[in-house]
Amino acid sequence: MSQELSKSPVFDGTGYEPSFFSRGEFVAPKTDYKEIDYKNLNTDKNKKVLVVCTEEKYMDMANGKKFATGNHPVETFVPILHLQSAGYEVDFYTINGNPINLELWALPLKDAVVSNVIEKYSEQLARPKSLKEFVAGGFKSESEYVAVFLPGGHGAMLGLPESEDLKKVINWVVAEDKFMLAICHGPAALLAAGYDADPESFPYKGYKINGFPDTIDVTLPEIGYQPGEMPWFYGGKLKNLGVEFLNDDISGACHTDRKLVTGDSPLAANKFGEMCAEALLKDSNANND
């Protein structure tokens, strides 16, 4: 049936959303989220996860056309469902505290669990906290953040990789021995820590990850997912900083390297969320022993 759908990107008045063909290929009406009965839950409600999202919507493609993107709702909220089940609430941040942009065309419209968690955080999505203010305040907050989560969607490539404030947050995560969680294009935001810096000082040099491969980004315009070729590719830049990709396709693969947890695509959202929750709980319980 998907063969009958148009491969032309859909104009939204400013830029282009993915074609109906590509949505048929990549956007499912329901996720594969499975609730887990986690043991030894986090009971300290002050311990939370800091989620860094994009406040930008449009990516300027190589041909000058604008791609309507943002953070992928499945990659953002399925992992959050697992974090909640493990006892961790989240605080949403953007660089300047402007509203979060989600790829609304990627919503799983028949998944009530995902819809409900999005509704739960609707106020935060409209009025997230400011990463700039968080950094300026010396990383002080009412919450004790045990991890930083970088959701996917091509929006992770907008504003975040060159952010001086995010660079400081990443270095703070490493210095304080916290977890970094990143899925699909989320690892692109890690480039902030290598922006205009000596590659030898990149904090995740030598780490292995799963992420969305550049080789697939090259092919997406063919099916109208994007209105033109990518302006740049994040994977190659991370490799130049000493990061090793374990995948060259998308299969739902996830990987944990020390305190960096990664997943390759929306296909990984459920497994990635479970791995993140289990890693945080294991670390917390080990510290409490």
* 201 Cβ contact partners less than 8 Å away, ≥ 6 residues apart: none
d(CA 119, CA 57): 20
DSSP 198: -
The verdict on whether 254 is a catalytic residue reads no
Best CA proximity match to 181, nearest among 195, 170, 192: 170
- Closest to 168 in 3D by CA, of 136, 143, 146: 136
Helix, strand, coil: what percent of the chain each, to 5?
40, 15, 45
CB atoms within 10 A of CB 28: 17
Pick the catalytic residue: 53, 184, 254, 276? 184
| SS3 annotation, 79-91 | HHHHHHHCCCEEE
Catalytic sites, residue numbers: 184
